[in-house]
Amino acid sequence: MRWAGPLRLNHGGGAATFLKLYVVGGVFVLLAGFIVYSQWILHRLEARNETLVAPFVRLVTYIPAIRDHQASELLREALRDVTDKGLLRFVIVDDHGAPVLARGVDPLLDRKLDDPGGQGLTAAEQQRLAEAIASMRGEHDAEAVEYTTLSRRIIGRIYFGDVDAEQLAEMPLVLSDVRDRPVAWRIYGGWETAFTHPEGVGRANALMRDADRHKRVEDLQVDPPAKQGAFYYQVDTVPALQWMPFVQMLLVGGFITGGVMLYRRIRADEQAAIWAGLAKESAHQLGTPITSLMGWVDLSRQTRESGEDAIDGLDIHEEMENDLRRLQRIVARFSQVGLRPELRPVSVNAIAADAASYFRARLPTRSRTTTIDEDYADVPMALANADLIQWVFENLIRNAVDAIDTQGSGSGNVALSTRYDVGTNCVTIAVRDNGGGIAPAVRRRLFTPGVTTKPHGWGVGLTLVKRIVEVYHGGRVRLAHTDREGSAFEVRIPAADRRRAESG
């Protein structure tokens, strides 16, 4: 089916288009702002964290030289927690480029490098470490560092007594080995050793016990030698921040989608209320003149002269009464708009045949010869409202005839057919014509209110068809086919007899 003239909208669309562009553009601007701001925050955090990398690495390399063993272990665990959480990864290499220390790459790999005398790295671990270094090298240049790979070596302990600052030179001292055996001491006078004064070992042990009880003891250690090397690193800011722009996009998108759906629902409800009010008012206004016309037709029938019963085989009064009865049905249909219609089993074939018969009697008044063909299959009853479904057929037939009238000379044809789909348990009605087809610009908005190509059209016919079929009957209407040879619409309505569908 094709209507002459360009596509028109009977309601102003400029403001609506501007509003849509404004909203969409605003959303994109907001999302772009979120992304740019989030990336700016990430770069700021990364830059701030990178200023702490070098001191952190030097602290890690200094841990083996810390004299307080308990403090060094606590610090080692605290720093390992930072690297294990993935916030910082670094690898220290010697002056030959061989890895000697790693943190944050892999816990097992880190522990293997911490123990040079233990199990060596496998080929896969060496490859993984090389890839990690290459990745770090791509982000930051290597930085020089002084490191130690050996832990401090404890050679003994020193125990000391409690004296005033003025008597510091006379402080009692005991030097022991790693097994806490006195080796040398100064308690009274000069220094003595276990070899030269074995009788003084008892006094030395007593001082050691007293000093240990009062925490006056320190380890004697040899610091490991320092080496020169370089380190590579990667800094990960809070990983969740990287996903923040996308989370924001999802939240904003969801909010906008919900708002649009709510707006469309409200708008659809408002349109339905407007259509319902307009239909009821039209029904009210048409009711009185139709009743009056029926009275005048009856009076004319009673006062006509004999021999004026028919013209060309047509009873004028009977045709006028048929048209008036049809107007009454139209008024009844208008009065049902906005209400939930009563559905009952009806014969789709009979309704389609009645609509075709009505239009066939009026086709000769058209500008070109048009025929209506009917091909009805044996289909079950449909669960529908007869008046509203007939309205659907009439709209589709009228549009088909109008499309044919705009194509110039030649014969036109409108074909009605029905069939039954066992799989969906639906009765399908097809209305085809041999008009010029529907222009591509119209197809996507074919069922939108106000869209029409007719010079004096309202753009409500197919909108009402869609509402009647899909909202009131739970069916479906669609443009099944269109090209230069014509168009075809299909209407599907649920069948009333489901046992027929089950039996196939």
Q: How does pLDDT run across 360-415, given as a tens digit for each residue?
A: 877 755 456 788 999 999 999 999 988 889 889 988 998 888 888 666 556 788 99
Neighbouring C-beta atoms of residue 293, cutoff 10 Å: 15
Neighbouring C-beta atoms of residue 344, cutoff 10 Å: 12
**pLDDT tier, 338 (very low <50, low <70, confident <90, very high otherwise):** low
**Pairwise CA distance, residues 438 & 445, whole Å:** 11
Which pLDDT score, from 0 to 100, does residue 437 have?
83
Q: What is the pLDDT of residues 110-163, one digit of tens each?
A: 778 777 666 778 888 888 888 888 888 887 777 777 777 666 678 889 999 888
Average confidence score pLDDT of the chain? 76
| 339: pLDDT strictly greater than 70 | no
Domains and CATH numbers, the chain: 52-151+225-237 (no CATH), 153-222 (no CATH), 341-503 (3.30.565.10)
Which pLDDT score, from 0 to 100, does residue 5 have?
40
How far, rounded to the nearest angstrom, does the alpha carbon of residue 140 sit from its chain's CA centroid? 36
Three-state DSSP at 114 gives: helix
Per DSSP, the residues of 142-203 read: -EEEEE--SPPEEEEEEEE----GGGGGG--EEEE-TT--EEEEESSSS-EETTT-GGGHHH
| 252: pLDDT strictly greater than 70 | yes
Which pLDDT score, from 0 to 100, does residue 85 have?
61
**pLDDT tier, 327 (very low <50, low <70, confident <90, very high otherwise):** confident
| 11: pLDDT strictly greater than 80 | no
Give the residue from 375, 466, 453, 385 showing the smallest Cα distance to 414: 375
| 284: pLDDT strictly greater than 60 | no
Neighbouring C-beta atoms of residue 346, cutoff 10 Å: 20
Name the DSSP class of 387. H
More confident residue, 297 or 25: 25
More confident residue, 257 or 302: 257
Q: Please give the helix or strand (H or E) that residue 230 lies within, else none.
A: strand 227-235
- Geometric angle at alpha carbon 102, from 101 and 104, rounded to 5°: 160
The distance in angstroms from the start CA to the end CA of the chain is: 34
Mean pLDDT of 40-66: 69
Could you give the percent of the chain with pLDDT greater than 70?
A: 67
Residues 284, 288, 290, 291, CA torsion sign: positive
Which pLDDT score, from 0 to 100, does residue 138 have?
80
| 305: pLDDT strictly greater than 60 | no
Which pLDDT score, from 0 to 100, does residue 408 have?
57
State which of 116-125, 211-220, 261-270, 291-300 shows the largest mean pLDDT. Answer: 211-220
More confident residue, 289 or 6: 289
Name the DSSP class of 468. I
Q: For residue 3, which phi and psi values (nearest 5 degrees)?
A: -105, 145
Q: Which two tokens stand for residue 476?
A: 């479906």
Which pLDDT score, from 0 to 100, does residue 238 have?
60
Which pLDDT score, from 0 to 100, does residue 1 have?
46
Residue 273 burial class via C-beta count within 10 angstroms: exposed 0-12, middle 13-18, buried 19 and up: exposed
Could you give the percent of the chain with pLDDT greater than 90?
A: 15
Which pLDDT score, from 0 to 100, does residue 10 have?
45
Query: What phi-psi label fits residue 486: left (phi over 0), alpha (psi between -120 and 50 degrees) or beta?
Result: left
Which pLDDT score, from 0 to 100, does residue 346 have?
93
Which pLDDT score, from 0 to 100, does residue 50 have?
67
| 56: pLDDT strictly greater than 90 | no
Give the residue from 120, 126, 82 showing the smallest Cα distance to 233: 82
Contact 468, 400 (CB under 8 A): no
| 294: pLDDT strictly greater than 90 | no
Which amino acid appears at position 357 of this protein? S
Q: Please identify which residue in the block is written with the tokens 């308690």.
A: 187
**Pairwise CA distance, residues 233 & 53, whole Å:** 8
**Pairwise CA distance, residues 59 & 82, whole Å:** 13
| 100: pLDDT strictly greater than 60 | yes
Three-state DSSP at 270 gives: helix
Which pLDDT score, from 0 to 100, does residue 353 have?
92
Q: Please identify which residue in the block is written with the tokens 């409200």.
A: 266
Which pLDDT score, from 0 to 100, does residue 239 have?
59
Which pLDDT score, from 0 to 100, does residue 431 have?
94
The lowest-confidence range among 39-43, 294-298, 343-347, 355-359 is 294-298
| 476: pLDDT strictly greater than 90 | yes
Mean pLDDT of 183-191: 88
More confident residue, 226 or 337: 226
Q: What is the pLDDT of residues 105-114, one digit of tens each?
A: 777 887 787 7
| 8: pLDDT strictly greater than 50 | no
**Pairwise CA distance, residues 66 & 53, whole Å:** 20
Buried b (16+ CB within 10 A) or exposed e, 481-498: ebeeebbbbbbbbbbbee
**Pairwise CA distance, residues 428 & 430, whole Å:** 7
| 226: pLDDT strictly greater than 50 | yes
Q: Please give the helix or strand (H or E) that residue 26 lies within, else none.
A: helix 14-50
Contact 486, 435 (CB under 8 A): yes
Q: What is the pLDDT of residues 415-473, one digit of tens each?
A: 999 999 988 899 999 999 988 888 887 888 888 776 666 666 566 778 888 888 998 88
Q: Please identify which residue in the block is written with the tokens 């609509």.
A: 355
Q: Which two tokens stand for residue 79?
A: 């720093």
**pLDDT tier, 488 (very low <50, low <70, confident <90, very high otherwise):** very high
Q: Please give the helix or strand (H or E) that residue 372 lies within, else none.
A: strand 370-376
Mean pLDDT of 31-41: 78
**Pairwise CA distance, residues 12 & 19, whole Å:** 12
| 174: pLDDT strictly greater than 50 | yes
Contact 466, 447 (CB under 8 A): yes
Longest dimension (CA), the chain: 164
